[in-house]
Structure 1
Amino acid sequence: MSLTSEQLISLKQQITSWAAELGFQGLGISDIDLASEEPKLQAWLDQKYHGQMDYMANHGMMRARPAELVPGTQRVISVRMDYLPEDANFSQDLSHKTTAYISRYAMGRDYHKLMRNRLKKLGQKISDAVEHSVQFRPFVDSAPVLERPLAQKAGLGWEGKHTLILNENAGSWFFLGELFIDLPLPIDEPVEDKCGSCVACITMCPTQAIVAPHTVDANRCISYLTIELNGAIPIEFRSLIGNRIYGCDDCQLVCPWNRYAELSCEDDFQKRKQVDGQALLALWQWDEATFLKQTEGSAIRRIGFERWQRNIAVALGNAPYHTDIIQQLKRQLTAASDLVKEHILWAVEQQQNKKDATTSDSKNKRLIRIIEKGLPRDA
């Protein structure tokens, strides 16, 4: 049994209401035509901007063809869930170079399962509301899906120059999820790009990863380097990472539209004390068992203990000089993997260079004081 246009319009209104009840802050519906995205995706892959993220290329153009991923799909329902926690303390954590900075999306519980379960409930509500079987499938970063172009087509926002979706009422501090469905629901219209001439995200990126408007070279991106990259972090980027040990929010922090962002109402997205405002040296003391326990249910756990140590070692190398840092770094050398050991040795060298610079500077200042005391008053 097929639904009439009036029934589909009414159903869409119900879907929007159900989505709000399930905790989604935005919903839009798009068709599945992403043909215009295929050349962009292929050019990005040809430039090797995906780095080690082979999954971006493994499925060919299926990522831009929803009906190949889920046969029978006619529409994609895109949803938004805000994640900005209370007391985000961006400036405090970034300015205190001995404090670990973790991207705010990862401060709470892992969003993947939470959103997928709610999308599944939304699909079930839709299925229960119609008189015939409805095929649906939820996705939250779990399959080859071009979630941002779909969200843009669905009117949830526009693609900023940093490639994140921007909403004029919510900025970019939100997760996206999709529900593929075989109903010809009414679609929403895309919204106007409102970035204008602003290039704040491009100019403020620490590693200049935004190589052109709407194009990110993942190989240079701190989020990629600290989360996705399996091996050694290239030396040229280590000092630029600062105290960021998991992800980076800089391009969002400088975006003018994020002054309108709403705080998350989800308890699961609030900051966990295990990782909130923690000293780098405190996290450096964790063994693998502690890491697994303290990151249970967190997106942070996905990088594993080795990359966790690698990232903290780099941040300790970037911290202001302190004898405790050198001692604690050297103490881990024996047990460290070859990957972590490489970054420990780099960090020790950075700390030693700062010590030498501090000693030299002190000597220079002392020499100047001695010279000034011996000079005639009219010199």
Structure 2
Amino acid sequence: MKTREQIVIEIAKSVGFDLVGISEANILKDHIKNSLAAYELNYLDGMPWLNKERLIKAGSPNQLLLNPKSVIVVGVNYKQNENQTSPINSTKGRIAMYAQWEDYHLVIKKMLKEYKAILQDKLSINMDGRIFVDDGSLLEKGFAEKAGLGWFGKHTNIINPIYGSWIFLGALITDLELTPNEPVKKNCGKCELCIIECPTKAIVSPYQLDANKCISFLTIENKGAIPYELRSLIDDWIFGCDICQDICPVNDKSDVSQNITFTKKTNNYLDLVEILYMSKEQFSSRFSKSPIKRTKLSGLQRNACVAIGNIKILEAIPALIDTLNNNESELVRGHSAWALGEINTKACQKALKISLEYENDQFVIDEINRALMSK
């Protein structure tokens, strides 16, 4: 006769999860301590919803479910066997691998709901449970570590021995009493490649990330201007960043995903000029089921301007000038001025000077003046 734990694992695999592990529903004291340290150091400043109360609650299953006994943590491998380097002289912007399909929050949550229903039916029980998929309400990575899915990497991602850190995580807190798995007895050792290679130095020390410097934060959660000193370090990333994962030696040898949900891409590279001319309706329609919708149109256009300025795409100059003259967002206009200053042709300089005659937003005026003065 199969044990409950065997049934838990078998059903998870049948639903499509590559990884499944069980953790006790205890308070994650170490992970809460690490999260609070980041909070006190202002590393989470750009995410006001991650306050002290929420960070403590996220590591305390007893605050998330009445009488929790176990946390079932699942993972789906999403790695693709494809070089992410964009072509030389490309007019395309790069997107983090996780965002190249339908929003994983929707996919994994649907899979977990199916999993929970089948599990209750198979065990013939009425199980109380709550589902979480990387929305800040639960420290999934901490419970994934306890459940044996992998170890906590220095880049703050969970690293699995087989799949590396290319893993979507989800969790089910339940009142079902289960025997927990043992944590993986591995770590990053002396390797610090992710710390060394991060262009913005966002990984300030092993296991500690300053989100305010992270390219993923800057291009997604950040709704304001990208700090001037960090713009040139973003390169052509327009949504997220994979540098710390691409450089990881474990990921270099990890298995490629066989999950059909994450093999047909909806987005890979995006045309930067096309983004600048995109309407709100086009944006909403194209990215309705994509994580990219999170950055909103103005954020994506801001990111496109920065990428164009970094790549110095001459063909994009007319689009940048149109953006500076006509885009309704001062955020986007300001970053288009920066991009024109970086490309710095006579046409760019002329457009910047002309725009000063009618621009009345102070942020944009400051960006234009800085673009004119810096060359």
With the length of structure 1 as denominator, give the TM-score of the two structures. 0.86
Aligned to 2:64: 69
CA gap of 1:230–1:18, structure 2 versus 1, over 3 A, is same
| Alignment correspondent of 2:290 | 298
Partners in 2 of 1:305 and 1:66 — Cα distance?
Answer: 36
1:133-161 Cα distance to aligned partner (Å, 9 max, x none): 21011110235201111000000000111
Tell me what 1:129 maps to: 122
Q: How many pairs align?
A: 345
| Counterpart residue type for residue 335 of structure 1 | N
What are the Cα deviations for residues 271-294 of structure 1, in whole angstroms up to 9, with x where unaligned? 535x33343223333222222222
For 2:125 and 2:203, the matched residues in 1 are separated by 47
Q: Extract unaligned runs of 5+ from structure 2.
A: 349-375
Pick from 198, 203, 221: which aligns with 1:205?
198
Equivalence for 1:4: none
Deviation at 1:27, TM superposition (A): 0.4
Larger radius of gyration: 1
Separation in 1, partners of 2:207, 2:313: 38
Give, as a single letter, the amino acid of the residue that structure 2 aligns with 1:146: L
How far 1:36 moved relative to its partner?
Answer: 2.6
Alignment of 1:1-379 (within 5 A): 10-33=3-26, 34-57=28-51, 59-86=54-81, 88-92=82-86, 98-270=91-263, 272=265, 275-322=267-314, 324-333=315-324, 334-352=326-344
**Paired residue secondary structure (1:252):** helix
Q: Which sections of structure 1, spanning at least 5 residues, go unmatched? A: 1-6, 357-379
Amino acid at match of 2:258: C
Shift of 1:51: 2.3
Q: Secondary structure at the match of 2:3?
A: helix
Q: Are 2:152 and 2:187, in contact at CA under 8 Å, matched by a contact in 1?
A: no
Amino acid at match of 2:141: R
Distance 1:132 1:70 in 2: 17
Measure the CA separation in 2 of the matches of 1:194 and 1:96: 39
CA contact (8 A) 1:105 1:269 kept: no
Q: Is the 8 A contact 1:119 1:138 kept in 2?
A: yes
Cα deviation code 1:240-263 (max 9, x no counterpart): 001100000000001000123222
1:328 counterpart SS class: helix
Q: Do the aligned partners of 2:276 and 2:323 also contact (CA within 8 Å) in 1? A: no
Q: What secondary structure, in the 3-state scheme, does the structure 1 residue paired with 2:130 have?
A: strand
What TM-score results when the alignment is normalised by the length of structure 2? 0.87
| Separation in structure 1 between the aligned mates of residue 235 and residue 78 of structure 2, nearest angstrom | 24
